[in-house]
A and B are shown apart, each in its own frame.
Chain A
């Protein structure tokens, strides 16, 4: 574990010394402050708008960090050949992948902590008390970003930075829509015969839909912002099961990335 943590701390140090992090954090903080105005303009309850918008900003800024920093962490090492000296140390290559991943998680956690602090100060400013359920929602945003970061690292282990960014963005978008696939399937099954012009679902298409659903993480599982903002109950053990669900994807992505990375030639 020690070498992994050494690599993680170095990846963290690399990122906090990079200007791109500060640009992203400042951008996010600006947007959080903007939520004050948005709350005033909205027809909905001010505090709900502020909560919903701020957590959405946290999610998006985490996504941007995963893409811009996560992909660069591995690709930069390969392109600048700094990886040669590192991999020549008596370490298995998966240490490098996991170390880089943990380093970026530290950055994401720090970023979320800073934004949470500003968010809670903002709530205090408008006379609201931060609730523990908000922390739960923010924790699940972190878990979602942890999954996305693992995907970004996987793509960057075998693809170019631009393609990796596109693939990661693709996973993010598809991950938020994959739940709808099953909903549509269910809908067509129930009402398809009654509605003329509804496409017929063949067994192959059905299997394909199920495959896509299980292959891509359903990122909507990590989104409990609506429930938290409107004080709806969160099912028992929901956070635990969702965390385990995320962990499974993280492990699979890191495993594939490590396997690919360990077979790769570094010219």
Chain B
């Protein structure tokens, strides 16, 4: 569906045309049926990559293909739905006119559009009353919803969404998350960039992490987190002696809690606690999240 190989892009900004490298040899692949998360901090190169894929920008080097065709060719965008970041739409149109306009441009006939417009409006939670109002009266969340609706109009095989959850309240975010899951369940490939890492971790089948124009990690969530050691935190019912846990059993967080770097250390700690007459109140496993990993990668590139 999407294949990016050694893609690079340099912007020239300001009066002196100062070079800013936005992408440096970026490679990744989105396969059919993926629910693919594209994560990274602001300015990492997510939107640049998406715009190159859709032909809005031209890459300086490397290769990008969309639906098996070179990115930028109009034919590559057939069967692709797109929602840009912070969507700005024609505010003089009503929601319905807006969807008709984009539906017609996507090649849908009048007969089809009559039913399809209502379908996508319902799918994205647009209220019927709002459909006949000008877009200039819409809230940010409603604009996001109508933008999503327009990306789904042509029954795309692939949807590319740039920050689809930005500007949405928690309920709206949940709705979009459910929508993405439903689209994926229907066999539609979804490629979306996001800052909401917990959502990406929860729903994405695969992901790529963009940091400073490079992709330091990609794969399934498990693969991305694979070399991240798990932590065990053991809390006791009373304070242990000042000597603390024995060597190799972890480090004390406070007088009653110990953090163990692995399962062996945890076993060692529990044996020691038994000998000391300490009762175990709780044992929890702390897995590193995508946020931890991203923060570490960002720190590496800082």
Contact = CB atoms under 8 A, between A and B. Distances in A.
Chains A and B are bound partners: yes
Interface in B108-161: 147, 150
A14 B57 contact: no
B46 interface: no
B90 A88 contact: no
Interface in A1-31: 2-3, 6-7, 10, 13-14, 17-18
Given A84-B84, A91-B74, A266 B51 contact: yes
A265 B84 contact: no
Interface in B89-108: 89-90, 92-93, 97, 101-102, 104-107
B77 A89 contact: yes
B84 A87 contact: no
A82 B90 contact: yes
B75 interface: yes
Contacts of B106: 89-90
B102 A89 contact: yes
A85 B77 contact: no
Interface in A84-123: 84-92
Nearest to A265: B57
* B contact residues, range: 20 to 34
A6 B84 contact: no
Task: Identify which of A17, A84, A86, A267 gathers the most chain B CB atoms within 10 Å of its CB.
Answer: A84
A227 interface: no
B88 A88 contact: no
B102 A267 contact: no
A124 interface: no
B272 interface: no
B57 A89 contact: no
A10 B77 contact: no
B90 A265 contact: no
Nearest to A5: B104
Contacts of A87: 54-56
A88 B77 contact: yes
A81 interface: yes
A14 B92 contact: yes
Interface residues of A, number: 25
A90 B88 contact: no
Contacts of B104: 2-3, 6
B195 interface: no
B92 A85 contact: no
B192 interface: no
B110 to A, nearest CB: 12
B56 A88 contact: yes
A194 interface: no
A184 interface: no
A9 to B, nearest CB: 9
Contacts of B78: 90
A86 B86 CA distance: 15
A167 B102 CA distance: 33
B82 interface: yes
A267 B84 contact: no
Interface of A: 2-3, 6-7, 10, 13-14, 17-18, 80-82, 84-92, 263, 265-267
23 contacts: A2-B104, A3-B105, A10-B101, A13-B92, A13-B93, A14-B92, A81-B84, A84-B56, A84-B84, A85-B82, A85-B84, A85-B89, A85-B102, A85-B147, A85-B150, A86-B105, A87-B55, A88-B77, A89-B106, A90-B80, A92-B74, A265-B58, A266-B56
Interface of B: 11, 51, 54-58, 74-78, 80, 82-84, 86-90, 92-93, 97, 101-102, 104-107, 147, 150
